[in-house]
A = this chain, B = another copy of it.
């Protein structure tokens, strides 16, 4: 009953009166082993209920077929899409994922990076925490030439690759779209400028204003963690302004705060987009549910995850020349919906 010893390649070897080495080779379908013995090995393995021991293997071969994934939080629509894409791609190539979250804290990020290193992941995929200021904690990886792939919230480093979208461009376009709709006083709800995604979106927004001779005002730039509460707070902020000073549009760096800001303004009697037009970022499911539907940027998380992992694995297997570039930029198209269509809606009124 208490069958407790592991079944090893030695057991298989004994059964067949061959050496463990041959069994090891046979199990990997090495052509160096005759078809016949290979078949026998497979049969006996099944019969004895053999299960390979990956660490014994890893210890010897120095490869784990495991990738580390380190993200700020894993429960957002965007991030879980990325992870789904990563898992699919990894699985396809026989790799597993160890996933950990920094909960937006640099300290956790460091600690998680350490354990991943100790678990000898073959590569690391990372999106930085809100307040990470440097990547010293990744030095062990760089030192041992373990490939690091940054995605979304990246950090420029000579010997690693980044997978991103063109945040600057998307923000520029979406801001320009609002301007084209006749908006003149566009507020931006943004994130920590330490992170490329928020910095780039802010820059794109500002450049679009500049190119259209619209002034940028500090009061029109809110920085927060872009949560539901932050969206509601942004609405309160708007309501607290004298009517003449209020924005006629809001461009938020994510959909969550855009939607919660919209809801609060609607509750206060504002008409969207007539009084205030709205644009968000990410194409979160809520953007298709809020009324009017939210104009946003299609951020294809699953694709990003897929590409990041596929690249990493190609690199590990030496088949990838993709690594010759330092950064991969994915498309991120505008999705224009009613919340920003000032003219349209005015017409239909």
Q: Which residues of A approach B to under 8 Å, CB–CB? A: 3-4, 49, 51-56, 58-59, 64, 66, 73-77, 79-81, 83-84, 87-88, 91, 96-101, 103, 108, 112, 114-115, 117-120, 140, 143-144, 256, 259, 263, 285-286, 289-291, 301-302
Contacts and interface: CB of A to CB of B under 8 A. Distances in A.
Contact of A289 (B59, B87, B115, B289): B289
B286 A66 contact: no
Contacts of A290: 289
A81 B74 CA distance: 8
Contacts of A84: 73-75, 101
Given A96-B100, A97-B100, A112 B140 contact: no
Nearest to A99: B99
Contacts of A103: 88
A97 B96 contact: no
A301 B98 CA distance: 20
Contacts of A55: 54-56, 58-59, 64, 120
A91 B103 CA distance: 11
Contact of A54 (B73, B74, B119, B301): B119
Contacts of A108: 91
Nearest to A55: B55
A99 B140 CA distance: 24
Contact of A112 (B74, B91, B291): B91
A59 B53 contact: yes
A138 to B, nearest CB: 13
Contacts of A77: 75, 77, 80
Given A54-B119, A83-B99, 4 more contacts: A55-B56, A59-B59, A75-B81, A87-B99
A289 B259 contact: yes
A320 to B, nearest CB: 21
A4 to B, nearest CB: 8
A290 B291 CA distance: 8
Nearest to A119: B54
| Pairs of residues from A and B, 8 with the lowest C-beta to C-beta distance, nearest first | A55-B55, A80-B80, A75-B80, A75-B84, A55-B58, A55-B59, A289-B289, A286-B289
A117 B66 CA distance: 14
Contact of A80 (B74, B117, B119): B74
14 contacts: A53-B59, A54-B55, A56-B59, A66-B98, A75-B81, A75-B83, A80-B80, A84-B101, A87-B99, A88-B103, A96-B98, A285-B286, A286-B286, A286-B289
Given A97-B98, A100-B97, A119-B96, A74 B83 contact: yes
B87 A76 contact: no
Contacts of A118: 51-54
Contacts of A117: 51
Contacts of A119: 54, 66, 96
A260 to B, nearest CB: 9
Contacts of A53: 59, 118, 120
A100 to B, nearest CB: 6
